[in-house]
Amino acid sequence: MAVTACQGLGFIVSLIGIAGIIAATCMDQWSTQDLYNNPVTAVFNYQGLWRSCVRESSGFTECRGYFTLLGLPAMLQAVRALMIVGIVLGAISLLVSIFALKCIRIGSMEDSAKANMTLTSGIMFIISGLCAITGVSVFANMLVTNFWMSTANMYTGMGGMVQTVQTRYTFGSALFVGWVAGGLTLIGGVMMCIACRGLVPEETNYKAVSYHASGHNVAYKPGGFKASTGFGPNSKNKKIYEGGVHTEDEVQSHPSKYDYV
């Protein structure tokens, strides 16, 4: 029961995490305009992985996609790749984990196969979560670097007099969604790996019973796989006659009908 609950909870947490990663990837608020000491408040800019948007004070919003690939920064393309890889791995692991759930019986699938599938999906969930966290962290580091570089360029001259006004960007809501979603996916993957240990069937030792054909003076000995074959050094020479298996001493003490022919 505990294994089923752990596996099911890990699946649900991972599902929420993958949904959050997809939402964060599609959101436009990866970086938002910093309004601190900004005299222009009628226009608000924010950017995402796929397009940049401008929202006016009247409520009108206009977005423009990035229609170039080579002209984009290398870090932005790396973040795109990490998020896409995380989504693909998460989708595949979700499909695998559905068939690995213990509460779902498909054909004659054994528990060992379900355990292997659970472990595989858990590892893929962990990798997916790490990809999402890495991608969001790389983008956040890029924002911090650009922010302080823009701040340094704003204040030039003697006494820190403001000579130019530049647009600075800070963390957007998509970054926090991506961090939380990646963490949930990572936790769900760990729970799936833990549940895998409970799904592995325990090795059971069965006592074997040596069986011989019915005959005279035949005993059944439980407890081992070694059976007497009649060819060992410690056993007497046995010959097969009518009526079962007898030793040579028994044959000599009980004459057969062939002795009088």
pLDDT in tens, 200-218: 666 544 444 555 555 555 4
Minimal CA–CA distance to 184: which of 139, 123, 129, 132? 129
Q: Which residues in the chain show pLDDT less than 70?
A: 1, 37-40, 150-166, 199-261
| Range list of β-strands (E), 89-236 | 169-171
For residue 80, give Cα distances in angstroms to 68, 102, 131, 193, 205.
14, 35, 10, 28, 53
pTM, two decimal places: 0.69
For residue 214, give Cα distances in angstroms to 74, 238, 254.
82, 16, 19
Q: What is the pLDDT of residue 115?
A: 85
Q: Report d(CA 90, CA 43) in Å as an integer.
A: 37
246 close to 217: Cβ distance less than 8 angstroms: yes
Domains of the chain: 1-30+69-154+166-198 (1.20.140.150)
For residue 68, give Cα distances in angstroms to 51, 79, 160, 175, 184.
11, 16, 38, 23, 33
Q: Report d(CA 128, CA 21) in Å as an integer.
A: 9
Q: Report d(CA 181, CA 190) in Å as an integer.
A: 14
Q: What is the pLDDT of residue 103?
A: 76
Q: What is the pLDDT of residue 179?
A: 95
